[in-house]
Amino acid sequence: MHASGGGVGLFVTQLAVQAGAKVIGTVGTPGKEKKPLAYGPTSVINLKNGDFVEQVLDLTAGQGADLAIDSLGAETLDRTFSAVRKLGHVINIGEAEGNPIENIRQRCLVRSQTFTRFHLGHAIDFPELWQKGNQFILDALHAGWLNPTIVETFELEHARKMHAAIENRTNSGKLLLRTSPETGS
């Protein structure tokens, strides 16, 4: 799971661990390695410390990961295909570092891999799937095994500060934007 120290990465890591997966996370910001480890991944790799592909291959006895979830795009997505095993799958859910590579079809052919580009906005066209997903998350929250890791709440007048934290990738969890004052209830 790329960006496993961020809000989405921590969330997806928890889902994968709950499903029984061995998770290898990556972070790109020094100091973010420790936070994801508290959520169950086997290892966390800092993308700034050496070649993550070699490190994933070392951790998987040269085979590569079965599945990679990429929220970074650009060069990291391109390199991710080399860290995934033959017949493995790559899912792209974001482009924090830039647009996805253009040669995805060719990258998949090299090792008989498959690729999915998921955009949350498309899920709205499938209300039954949307509702099922929402219910799953609510059940997981109530069961106590899914922690949204809220790290900071911003008042509406500080929305720019919140967006800056997202764009700079300095947060290690979910940020909330409060649109109305607390009522005390």
Count the domains in the chain: 1
Whole-prediction pTM: 0.84
The string of pLDDT tens digits covering residues 55-92 is 999 999 999 999 999 999 899 999 999 999 999 999 99
Q: Which residue has the tokens 């949307």?
A: 130
Distance CA 74, CA 94 (A): 10
The string of pLDDT tens digits covering residues 103-118 is 899 999 999 999 999 9
In a domain, 153, yes or no: no
First to last CA, the chain: 38
- Write the CATH number for 58: 3.40.50.720
In a domain, 47, yes or no: yes
In a domain, 172, yes or no: no
C-beta separation of 20 from 89 below 8 A: no
The pLDDT of residue 146 is above 60: yes
Per cent of the chain over pLDDT 90 is 69
In a domain, 178, yes or no: no
Q: Cβ contacts of residue 90 below 8 Å, gap of 6+?
A: 67, 68, 70, 77, 80, 81, 84, 108, 113, 114, 115, 116
Q: Which residue has the tokens 């990679």?
A: 68
| Identity of the residue numbered 9 | G
- Segments forming the whole domain that contains residue 13: 7-145
